Amino acid sequence: MQLFLDTANVDEIREAAALGVISGVTTNPSLIAREGRDFQQVVREITEIVDGPISAEVISTEAGAMVAEAEELARIHPNVVIKIPMLPEGLKAVSRLESRGIRTNVTLVFSANQALLAALAGASYVSPFVGRLDDAGHEGMEVVADTVEIFTLHGLQTKVIAASIRHPLHVVAAARAGAHVATVPYKTLMQMTRHPLTEVGLKKFMDDWARLQNR
């Protein structure tokens, strides 16, 4: 399983990349808007920090326009993966882009059927939104588990990215469900590094060491 960082903040990406645990980055229009910076420039900077799949999302909703936007984004760097919303027009765009060698990540996926359609259209990645399903009173991780099971059973090559991850328990559940990737906010990544017993244990080691020096 791989971890991607779900952010458009290049400082967070630099910090996380230095840990050596991040294989890619996902962005979306909301994350880009939060930074208030030029979209293409942000994507370019991210490709310079992380050598892995970098998802950048189109904002058109008609297949032809999505393809045109995607082609422009794909020119930024070969690692750019185009995030396409799960719509009938999106599926058309996915099959056209993948046949031209441009990788896609189908986003706003909330059911295993949507994930199946994305895979059949040839998407490289599909992103079920776990947290938003949980927010709506569903068991979001079930969609991840069902999707992984279906793809495995039928030999579909599309990778499953557990997205809309909100806390460390989501990451454990995504890993147990067999997700190929979990894309995590920076805050969740840092929460994953911590455990109170690590802090208590380190303090004891340091205190004992200091006592030895003062003998």
Nearest residue by C-beta to ligand G3P? 164
Question: Would you count residue 9 as binding ligand G3P (CB under 6 A)?
Answer: no
Question: Would you count residue 52 as binding ligand G3P (CB under 6 A)?
Answer: no
Taking each helix axis from N to C end, the angle separating 39-49 and 63-74, rounded to the nearest 10 degrees, works out to 50
Question: Would you count residue 26 as binding ligand G3P (CB under 6 A)?
Answer: yes
* Contact pattern from residue 90 through residue 129 relative to ligand G3P, giving x for each residue in contact according to CB under 6 A and a dash for the rest: ---------------------------------------x
Tokens at residue 37, please? 């910076």
Task: Pick the binder of ligand G3P from 132, 138, 167, 180 (CB under 6 A).
Answer: 132
Question: Would you count residue 131 as binding ligand G3P (CB under 6 A)?
Answer: yes
The residue among 103 and 209 lying less far from ligand G3P, judged by its C-beta, is 103
From 83, 159, 187, 204, active-site residue: 83
The residue among 30 and 197 lying less far from ligand G3P, judged by its C-beta, is 30
Report d(CA 104, CA 122) in Å as an integer: 8
Say whether 203 is catalytic: no
- In whole angstroms, how close is the CB of 25 to ligand G3P at the nearest point? 10
Question: Would you count residue 28 as binding ligand G3P (CB under 6 A)?
Answer: yes
Question: Would you count residue 37 as binding ligand G3P (CB under 6 A)?
Answer: no
Q: Which residues bind ligand G3P (CB under 6 A)?
A: 6, 26, 28, 129, 131-132, 163-164, 183
